[in-house]
Amino acid sequence: MFKIVFSDIDGTLLNHDRDLSPYTIETVKKLKGSIPFILISSRMPAAMRHLQAKMDIEDQPLISYNGGLILVDDKPVSSTEIPLNILDKLSAFNKELNVHLSLYHNDEWYAPQYDFWAKREENNTKVEPGIRANSEVIETWENEGKGAHKIMAMGEEFKIDEIVNYLEKEHPNALHLYRSKPTYLEIAPRSISKLTAIEHLLADHYRLPLSQCLAFGDNYNDIEMLKGVGMGVAVGNAKPEVMEVAHMVTSSGKEDGVAKSIVEILKI
């Protein structure tokens, strides 16, 4: 029997309004006290907490940045960052391209200007960015001994292509490049994934085997997780490659696929 549930957010858990449906909220609340329901996303923690609050799971751990940051009782128990020298070189390479580079560390999000991309992300995540030049942020983080949990490059497709080519050539083994759409590139440390984060949390916090995990996802960054857990479920709108590795396919995210499967599989 499954004793813990992990769910991706965007494309998986949210409805047409990019929010939680009443049915999803009610379903997750039924698990309270018996089965932990953990959000696992490329989002920053601040963009996940309002969803936790709605489902009454604020006491549960959070897995942010695709596994780059794990919070238990709101404190980091695992943190994997992109080194500043990589960020510095990327920023220099981007000078002429002028792609929007958003920089993230834990609950800090800095956008170079409040443009179309920053507004769109703010609308999607309900978090307001700090506006600071990349060079300024790099200098501050250098003094504080911090790296980036995530870099988000947003811009015209051909410019994102150039950044991908540059990073693949310069840092072939250091980074994971995840392109959620042609104009969006999420850059993360290569050593982490949603599955490595789940393994960390299971070993150090829950003392449960992977075989007792139920997980939900829709996109390329969910593949490892869905393959590795006891039951990986793809929502109906998932990428074909994700459906292929999933143990089961449910309704689309916008049609409460996660909640319907929880009711069916966990018999609640």
- The bridge status of strand 69-72 relative to strand 75-79 is antiparallel
- Which pLDDT score is estimated for 223? 97
The residue extents of the domains of the chain are 4-79+192-266, 84-189
Q: Which class would CATH give 84-189?
A: alpha beta
| Bridge partners, 6 (sequence order) | 38, 215
The CATH superfamily of 4-79+192-266 is HAD superfamily/HAD-like (3.40.50.1000)
What is the pLDDT tens value at each position of the chain, 268 positions in all? Answer: 899 999 999 999 999 999 999 999 999 999 999 999 999 999 999 999 999 999 999 999 999 999 999 999 999 999 999 999 999 999 999 999 999 999 999 999 999 999 999 999 999 888 999 999 999 999 999 999 999 999 999 999 999 999 999 999 999 899 999 988 899 999 999 999 999 999 999 999 999 999 999 999 999 999 999 999 999 999 999 999 999 999 999 999 999 999 999 999 999 9
Question: What is the sign of the dihedral through the CA atoms of 157, 124, 179 and 107?
Answer: positive
Q: Helix/strand/coil (H, E, C) string of the chain?
A: CCCEEEECCCCCCCCCCCCCCHHHHHHHHHHCCCCCEEEECCCCCHHHHHHHHHHCCCCCCEEEHHHCEEEECCEEEEECCECHHHHHHHHHHHHHHCCEEEEEECCEEEECCCCHHHHHHHHHHCCCCEECCHHHHHHHHHHHCCCECEEEEECCHHHHHHHHHHHHHHCCCCEEEEEEECCEEEEEECCCCHHHHHHHHHHHHHCCCHHHEEEEECCHHHHHHHHHCCEEEECCCCCHHHHHHCCEECCCHHHCHHHHHHHHHHCC
pTM of structure: 0.93
Tell me the sheet residues that pair with 110: 103, 130
Q: Residue 205 and residue 72: Cα distance in Å, rounded?
A: 9
pLDDT of the residue at 28? 98
